[in-house]
Amino acid sequence: MVIQSQHAPDHSRSTKYLDRTRMNNALEQAMDFGATYAEIRLMAETTSSVRLKDGQLEHAIPGQEIGATLRILADGAWGVHSTTDISNIPNEIESTVKLARAVAARRPSGSKPIQLAEIPVLQDEIHWRPKKDVRNTDLQTKLDMLQSIHSSANDDDRIISVACGWSDEHLHTELLTTEGMDRTWSFQRSMVNGMVTARDGGDPVSYRMRHGGEGGLELIEACDLGGLGEHARISALRLLKAERAPSGKLPLIADRDLTGVYIHEALGHPCEADLVAAGDSCLDGKLGQKIGNDIVTVVDDPNMRGGYGAYPIDDEGLDVREKTLIKNG
């Protein structure tokens, strides 16, 4: 794979992988072949995953991936080509235009051709730089932090297993379009997680824990890891004596984290535009209709730095904004 880097791989600076001249020429070629719009989106990801099981290292896996998607609109339909061979993108222009036209030829009767909305054309870079770049964290530091969780979580004879994990990722995206969009953005996520399993003669019970979000090593350092493990241990031991919840309609005291999971699964996924467009969402056609209690308002805001769902720019190259998914039910 041949890529162009405009800067040396210095984490304090922006590294660009797309050869702007060559890729813009490729996009112009798409228009010459009859496309009405074309874009190239590249993502480079640097990751790390570490797992301890009962204090022993199970795996420590670093990763680096880079790939790009060529998306072309022709005759009101999309043609898409994805690849890890960045240098070969210009050679896929003509075939992707033909693919879009083939899709258009099979458009169902009555289906409208795809049209693009008017959007601002921006040329800039936005990098959410962490206080401490997580890519500079050595394995021993990660192991020491996970051992802090394990030691506190394992401090009882009724604890039969403790699993701890570390994950981090640096996400870098570049977007070029025939409309003149040229944006580059990046951010990081860092997280520790674990599961404590306890048993006292009967069936085993487990309690999960996690801490992290958008940011670098500073997120993990700000956490009382020993306290995180201790809380998980105490919670697991409490579950040993807990009774099963009765069935029926009852008042609910909602745990914040669990409420987030429910909203993500039951509301977040059905709100995804591709599912709605395909008619596969349970919320399709219900815009403006009441689906919940009056007290329920749900807002999606990727600008809230630190959260795991935070990011500066969406995949269409637009600045993220607050979106109200449900207002007063």
Residue 266 domain-assigned (yes or no): no
Please compute the mean of the pLDDT values over residues 320-327 and round it to a whole number.
94
Q: Is the pTM of this model over 0.85?
A: yes
Q: How many domains does the chain have?
A: 1
Residue 27 domain-assigned (yes or no): yes
Indicate the Cα dihedral angle 26, 32, 36, 37, nearest 10°: 10
Residue predicted with more confidence, 256 or 282: 282
> Which tens digit of pLDDT belongs to each residue from 208-223?
999 999 999 999 999 9
Residue 247 domain-assigned (yes or no): no
pLDDT at residue 123, rounded to an integer: 96
CA angle, 43 as apex, 41 and 46 as ends, to 5°? 175
For the cut 60, the answer to whether the pLDDT of residue 4 exceeds it is: no
Least reliable range by pLDDT among 92-96, 184-188, 243-247? 243-247
For the cut 80, the answer to whether the pLDDT of residue 148 exceeds it is: yes
- CATH number (domain holding residue 316): 3.30.2290.10
> Which tens digit of pLDDT belongs to each residue from 71-104?
999 999 999 999 999 999 999 999 999 999 999 9
Residue 272 domain-assigned (yes or no): no
d(Cα 220, Cα 197) in Å, to the nearest integer?
A: 23
Cα 27 from chain centroid (whole Å):
27
Residue 7 domain-assigned (yes or no): no
Residue 166 domain-assigned (yes or no): yes
For the cut 90, the answer to whether the pLDDT of residue 171 exceeds it is: yes
Residue-wise over 244-273: b if at least 16 C-beta within 10 A, else e?
A: eeeeeeeeeeeeeeeeeeeeeeebbebeee
> Which tens digit of pLDDT belongs to each residue from 286-304?
989 999 889 999 999 999 9
Closest CA to 50 of 134, 110, 113: 134
Q: H/E/C letters for each residue in 259-286?
A: HHHHHHHHHHHHHCHHHHHCCCCCCCCC
For the cut 80, the answer to whether the pLDDT of residue 1 exceeds it is: no
Identify the three-state secondary structure at position 112: coil
Residue 76 domain-assigned (yes or no): yes
Q: For residue 76, give its domain range.
A: 20-242+290-326
pLDDT at residue 14, rounded to an integer: 67
Residue 1 domain-assigned (yes or no): no
pLDDT at residue 278, rounded to an integer: 84
